[in-house]
Amino acid sequence: MTLKLNGSTSGSVSIDAPASTTGGADITFKLPVADGSANQVLKTDASGNLGWATDQGGKIVQVVHAHITDHMYSTATSYTDLTGVTASITPTSSSNKVLIQCNLSISKYDNHSFIARIVRDGSAITGAGGLAESGHANQTDGVWWNIRTGNYFLSSGALSYLDSPATTSSVTYKAQGFTSSSSYPFSLNMTNASEAVVWCSPTYSSITLWEVAA
């Protein structure tokens, strides 16, 4: 059965009942007594009474994941892309957020440090990462990872950050890193020693992007 409401000048709106209800029951819905606020939705109390409610955000809309087993050995002393540690996501709403979860598996000579960060579309994410200590001019802001390990083992560091890209265009996140001295390289997913022994077995890194409804 169809209930049809005609417009005052033209057009109409129709409400259709299903061909049958569960168990052939007669169902009655009671509408709210007033209009709701902007962006509210109708909810039921399971007894047929309808009311207005604020849509609950925080739901996961989509997930993008990359599992990285690429091997990389570098003496770079400025931020350089870490091979394969990248993922792209296209938010469905500009008000939604993107939860970044990234794990890096790094081997580093036990001297100086491996410094790394996540960038969005090639640029540092404002407000993400650490802050340099007051009076320490040689420190740098925006660092996500500061790792020092050894030649024969890897250290895994996992971090999360809730980003607000404010767009519905594709966004690319990638990890970048460097060593604080070219004399002491770093390796990704492999040991610096890189020997044919079980204790030098490679591991993996990963990056996961979660779109979270506002």
The tens digit of pLDDT for each residue in 202-212 reads: 999 999 999 99
Domain extent, residue 106, equals: 60-212
Q: What is the DSSP string of 107-168?
A: EE-SSS-EEEEEEETTEEPTT-S--PPTT-TT--SS-SEEE--BTTB-EEEEEEEEE----S
Are 120 and 182 within one domain?
Answer: yes
The tens digit of pLDDT for each residue in 4-15 reads: 888 888 888 888
Total domains in the fold of the chain:
2
Give the pLDDT score at 57: 67
Average pLDDT over every residue of 35-57: 79
Q: What is the pTM of this model?
A: 0.76
Give the pLDDT score at 91: 96
**Residue pair 45/31 in contact by the 8 Å Cβ criterion:** no
Are 64 and 29 within one domain?
Answer: no
Average pLDDT over every residue of 129-153: 94
Are 93 and 136 within one domain?
Answer: yes
Residue 130 has pLDDT above 80, yes or no: yes
Give the pLDDT score at 55: 67
Are 48 and 108 within one domain?
Answer: no
Average pLDDT over every residue of 146-158: 93
Are 171 and 100 within one domain?
Answer: yes
Residue 96 has pLDDT above 90, yes or no: yes
Residue 79 has pLDDT above 70, yes or no: yes
SS3 content of the chain, % helix, strand, coil (to 5): 5, 45, 50
Backbone angles phi, psi at 180, to 5 degrees: -75, -5
Are 41 and 75 within one domain?
Answer: no
Residue 62 has pLDDT above 70, yes or no: yes
Are 186 and 116 within one domain?
Answer: yes
96 CB neighbour count, 10 Å cutoff: 20
Q: Does residue 30 come out as left (phi exceeding 0), alpha (psi in the -120 to 50 range) or beta?
A: beta
Are 104 and 48 within one domain?
Answer: no
Are 98 and 26 within one domain?
Answer: no
Mean pLDDT of the chain: 92
